[in-house]
Amino acid sequence: MVQFKTFNPANNWAGAIAAAFEDGYIVTDHAGQIVAYNPSALEILRIPEPQMRNTDWWKSPAAGALGRLLQERQEFSEYKIRQDLPHKKDCWLGVTGKLLHTTTETGYMITFRDVTAYLEVNRSLNTIISSLDDIILEMTADGTILHVWMNRTTRLTLPWMEMQGNSAYQYMPDRLIKEIQQLVREVMASGKEVVRVLHDPLGRDLHVWYRIRLLRPGTTNNTIILTIHDVTAENKANEELKEARTQLEDSQQVFKSVFDYSPTGIALLSLTGQWLDVNASLLDTLGYTLEEMLGLTVSTLIHPDDLDAAQAQMGQIRDRKINSYRAERRYRHRDGHYIYMFLACSAMQNPDETVRYLILQMIDVTELKHLDSEARKKNIILHATSVDLQQKIKQLFEINQIIAHNLRGPASAIISSVELLPEIKDVKEQEVMLYHMKNSADAILNTLNDLKDVLAQQATTGLPFTQCNIEHIVKQLWSSLNQQVVEKNAQLKLHFRESSIEYSRPYLENILFHLINNALTYTRPEVTPEIIVETWKEDDQIVLMVKDNGIGIDLQKHGEQLFRYKKKFHRGYESNGVGLFMIRNQIRTFGGSIDVKSEEGKGSSFFVYFNNRVHISKEDE
Amino acid sequence: MNKIKNVFVVDDDELFQFVMRQHFERLELVDKIHKFTDGEQALNYIKQNLNVPDNLPDLVLLDVNMPYMDGWQFLREYVKLPLPEGKQIKVYVLTSSTHESDLQRAKEFPSLAGYLVKPIGKNVIKEILTELLPA
């Protein structure tokens, strides 16, 4: 039977001592039966004596953490456990367990006291401290951990509850121990704070960085506070900043190198057109020194004819309507001559997107311009030559047609008639045939003469060209045709936007004569003939128009034949079908062309295009 | 003996017309020889006689180079004409041109009976006429 010992202070010293004990204690024998407890135990736990003595109750879950520790019979000191008490939920007890040895048996005793208040203070302190840093260790000079406060455990996952009393160094990788020991010595000696940033001090995560701080809380005690703070995020930001700075430096370096050594001229220009900086290449191109350039504005160097466009484009950049532009401008060299520059201008913006200054890149394209205009010139000559050749081919083709029809035709008739001649006995018939034969021979001769003229025209491309006053020529022709003019009461209207044409005067007279004569010939009896002569410029060439209100021509029917040799279209009019053929030949000889618009019963308009370019190019050659 | 009723010679060359008439008359194979000095006149005549088959030609000798309406223009209009059913008209181009471009143009008219180059002698004319005569 177990004998409970409630130590009555009146009975003996042991009881007096037990009663005086502020800590509560409970003792069990080797079988786990409660054998002793003191009044403080009853006081702290606020349980009645029968319950205290009830071993089975202590084994029940209602006995909480304290009950469990009693059953486990382990030795430990100063565990902080949470115990729900009838009068106080969330009571924290500081508990120590010890085995008790008598001569005959081994018992077990736990002592405990209410540390709730102390822990609360401690916890607030802990909260304050850990909000500052991730881990705070208070340790002795030799590294024994006295207290641990821990904030976020996300990175440094240490069994911190167990750390107290252990050496701090056992949680560190070897490479760190010496360094920390050295730092501890320094701090102990100097009393000054030491801070180090370490990469992954626990050798667990390569991507973390910690800042370690060592300091002495006061001069009197010999402890050291070691704080460890995760600076990975800061460090990362720092690294990125460093990286950005490096990149910035790199790009500045690149820009500087481009600026200094580029074969392209580069300059920085203020919004008012002041040169802010100019690279060597551009200085070299324009012939100025940097000092001279910086004293100038861009508008003093741009060719006056290009200035308006330049200022308009710079204004558009300044007003942020555009971000960049390209242009070709003439810039004045220091020697006074102008250089063709191809340039690109772009805006350098402030953070608020206003324009800070302009970046100008320029290349000298004078030589290219020159080559380009040379090429253009050659191209024009080539084109003109090609047009000329095409005209010549057309003329040759036409001559060929004339030979095929207008020479071979009557010639073959003469041959046939010569064959037939012996068979014709009748004198009258012989006379008729001879008459026709003579006509055919005349026609051949006539055609040959015309051909001779055509060839002569083509051979005389060297005829002198002079400035021909058109009005003068037209009026002269008009008076020479006076008889017809009066007869038909014809009206002449002139409108010359180009007063003179550079041409061979006899040819121009001939062209105008035929056109005006035709206009006077093919009139409609019911209307007063009105002839309009006009000139104007079209794509660099002068156009001459002779327009009438005469009978017109059905171009659908006759268009292709209009300028052919000996073609006639209107019965009852005096015509040999040679005039239009001849003048087209003349016009083509100098690279020009003639065109017609006509409507039957309304009138015709003839357009002569004087291709001056061909003439000019010929002179060039 | 059978004779060809109507032959049209369309040519502005008076000497050529004269020579052809002489040949036709001598050959005595043709009833009537019609002379036209340009395409337009020939075309108008045919147009006016579309309903009178007896007046329509059996043979047309067509020059190319003529005023007002040349041989090609004539052909372009002629092929559009609504000839009486069963009426056969042989059209020969008869020209002094041996020019390639003229030969090419002749090929544009598949209804052409042939392309003859001047001068042509009596034998060629005889051949053409004989071909036309009913066997």
Give the C-alpha separation, B46 to B53, whole Å.
10
Per-residue pLDDT, averaged over A531-555, amounts to 91
Find out whether A23 and A97 touch, Cβ atoms under 8 Å.
no
Is the minimum CB–CB distance between B58 and chain A shorter than 8 Å?
Answer: no
Mutate to test the interface with A, among B10, B19, B77, B100 (most CBs of A within 10 A): B19
Contact A423 B69 (CB under 8 A): no
- Ranges A247-261, A282-296, A444-458, most confident: A282-296
Which positions in chain B touch A436 (Cβ < 8 Å)? 14-15, 18
Which positions in chain B touch A440 (Cβ < 8 Å)? 13-15
Per-residue pLDDT, averaged over A53-63, amounts to 89
Residue A616's pLDDT is what?
45
Q: What is the mean pLDDT of chain A?
A: 84
Q: B27-69, pLDDT tens digit by residue?
A: 999 999 999 999 999 999 999 999 998 999 999 999 998 988 9
Of B67, B98, B118, Cβ closest to residue A568:
B67
Residue A466's pLDDT is what?
85
Strand order, beta sheet including A593-599: A491-496, A530-538, A541-547, A603-610, A593-599
Q: How confident is the model at residue A617 (pLDDT cuts 50, 70, 90)?
A: very low
Contact A557 B73 (CB under 8 A): yes
Residue A122's pLDDT is what?
65
Which positions in chain A touch B63 (Cβ < 8 Å)? 409
CA distances (Å), A568 to each of A573, A580, B38, B68, in order?
Answer: 9, 11, 10, 5
Q: How confident is the model at residue A11 (pLDDT cuts 50, 70, 90)?
A: low
Terminus-to-terminus CA distance in chain B, angstroms? 11
Residue B91's pLDDT is what?
95
Q: A467-479, pLDDT tens digit by residue?
A: 899 999 999 999 8
CA distances (Å), A160 to each of A148, A163, A171, in order?
Answer: 7, 5, 10
Residue A117's pLDDT is what?
81
Is the minimum CB–CB distance between A438 and chain B shorter than 8 Å?
Answer: no
Per-residue pLDDT, averaged over A176-193, amounts to 85
Per-residue pLDDT, averaged over A48-61, amounts to 90
What phi and psi, each to the nearest 5 degrees, are found at residue A556? -60, -40
Give the C-alpha separation, A391 to A588, whole Å.
6
Q: How confident is the model at residue A497 (pLDDT cuts 50, 70, 90)?
A: very high
Q: A358-378, pLDDT tens digit by residue?
A: 999 999 998 888 888 888 888
Per-residue pLDDT, averaged over B77-101, amounts to 90
Contact A411 B96 (CB under 8 A): yes
Q: A428-473, pLDDT tens digit by residue?
A: 999 999 999 999 999 899 889 988 888 887 776 667 788 899 999 9
Of A409, A420, A439, Cβ closest to residue B22:
A420
Is the minimum CB–CB distance between B13 and chain A shorter than 8 Å?
Answer: yes
Closest CA of chain A from B47, distance in Å:
18
Whether the model clears a pTM of 0.90, i.e. scores above it, the answer is: no
Q: A590-602, pLDDT tens digit by residue?
A: 878 899 999 999 9
SS3 category, B65 = coil
Find out whether A394 and A591 touch, Cβ atoms under 8 Å.
no
Between A125 and B24, the more confident residue is B24
Per-residue pLDDT, averaged over A493-515, amounts to 90
Closest CA of chain A from B25, distance in Å:
12
CA angle at residue A360 from A356 to A361, to 5 degrees? Answer: 150
What phi and psi, each to the nearest 5 degrees, are found at residue A585? -60, -40
Give the C-alpha separation, A282 to A362, whole Å.
7
Q: A383-432, pLDDT tens digit by residue?
A: 878 877 887 888 888 888 888 888 888 999 999 899 888 888 899 999 99
Question: In this structure, what token pair is assigned to residue B120?
Answer: 């042509």
Which positions in chain B touch A409 (Cβ < 8 Å)? 13, 16, 63, 65, 95-96, 118
Is the minimum CB–CB distance between A423 and chain B shorter than 8 Å?
Answer: yes
Mutate to test the interface with A, among B12, B25, B65, B102 (most CBs of A within 10 A): B65
Per-residue pLDDT, averaged over A331-345, amounts to 93
Contact B15 A433 (CB under 8 A): yes
Closest CA of chain B from A458, distance in Å:
23
Contact A413 B121 (CB under 8 A): no
The ipTM is 0.88
